[in-house]
């Protein structure tokens, strides 16, 4: 059996908080206890919000927490060619289509359709551009219209032609139902990949065997499992853990500056105290 490989993959768009510490320790401790690998990845595809200073702060925070990683840090912004190759393959399979709708147009169409399908995060994309014929698409592309690339969930599922599932450590074997998220965006003009595509490709290229991440990302796994099937990628095991909640009962966010790891460090709190607060054993 291959050694376990886990990863922590923050976005350098702000400072880490206690919830990030829990996620990082969870993945790190699992790998180290099993004599496996723990990798660090920077999910910095959003070039308008990601900053080198935030990445430096993440490195400083993880070092303070006593977390070490194997090999170099993988930065998604340095691997756009990998995602382009995956998009090219999906295009060859005929499961990608350009979407010319603006966010405002999508919102207006959804508002005009009271019975619009709902997903875990709200209304689904209504499929407006899915029905465009080849001529209409070619004309709009020739005009230079801004567009996103969406995954045609219906075509993709038909192409796979078999039930898909994944194993979650807490929930057990899970049937993949990517239709609950609709035709998700896989790339935009300003961002040549999406979270869904980049994380699926990265986990495969880095040999990740166990994905530990927060429960709010559980629905995304449905789409990731479909992409793995389409691209012929290995399927890791998953362990979705709970969210760290603040005193106000709301999940922590980067905007909660008083709860950043840097702020806690500045007030003299120690990593051991944080582990106890999070219910993690001393290490």
pLDDT of residue 256: 61
pLDDT tens digit sequence for 22-70: 999 999 999 999 999 999 999 999 988 999 999 999 999 999 999 999 9
How many angstroms separate the CA atoms of 101 and 98, rounded?
9
Band of residue 122 on the pLDDT scale cut at 50, 70, 90:
confident
Per-residue pLDDT band at 239 (split at 50, 70, 90): very high
Mean pLDDT of 196-205: 98
The confidence score (pLDDT) of residue 248 equals 66
Comparing CA positions, the residue from 64, 43, 61, 51 lying closest to residue 14 is: 51
Digit-coded pLDDT (tens) for 145-157: 999 999 999 999 9
pLDDT value for 136: 94
Percent of the chain with pLDDT strictly greater than 70: 96
């Amino acid at each position: 059996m291959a050694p376990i490989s886990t990863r922590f993959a923050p976005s350098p768009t702000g400072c880490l908080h206690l919830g990030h510490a829990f996620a990082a320790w969870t993945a790190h401790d699992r790998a180290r206890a099993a004599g496996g690998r723990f990798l660090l990845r920077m999910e910095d595809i959003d070039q308008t919000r990601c900053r080198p200073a935030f990445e430096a702060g993440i490195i400083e925070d993880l070092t303070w927490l006593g977390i070490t990683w194997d090999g170099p840090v993988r930065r998604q912004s340095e691997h756009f060619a990998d995602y382009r190759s995956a998009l090219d393959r999906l295009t060859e399979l005929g499961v990608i289509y350009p979407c010319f709708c603006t966010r405002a147009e999508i919102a207006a169409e959804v508002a005009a359709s009271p019975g619009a399908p709902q997903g875990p995060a709200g209304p689904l994309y209504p499929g407006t551009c899915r029905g465009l014929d080849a001529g209409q698409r070619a004309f709009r592309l020739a005009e230079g219209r801004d567009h996103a690339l969406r995954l045609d969930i219906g075509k993709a599922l038909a192409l796979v032609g078999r039930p898909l599932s994944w194993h979650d450590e807490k929930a057990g074997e899970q049937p993949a139902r990517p239709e609950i998220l609709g035709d998700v965006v896989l790339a935009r003009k300003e961002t040549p990949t999406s979270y869904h595509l980049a994380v699926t490709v990265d986990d495969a290229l880095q040999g990740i065997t166990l994905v530990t991440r927060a429960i709010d990302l559980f629905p995304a796994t449905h789409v990731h499992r479909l992409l793995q099937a389409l691209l012929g990628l290995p399927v890791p095991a998953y362990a979705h853990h709970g969210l760290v909640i603040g005193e106000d009962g709301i999940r922590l966010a980067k905007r909660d500056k008083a709860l950043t790891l840097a702020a806690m460090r500045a007030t003299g709190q120690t990593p051991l105290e944080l582990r106890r607060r999070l219910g993690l054993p001393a290490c």
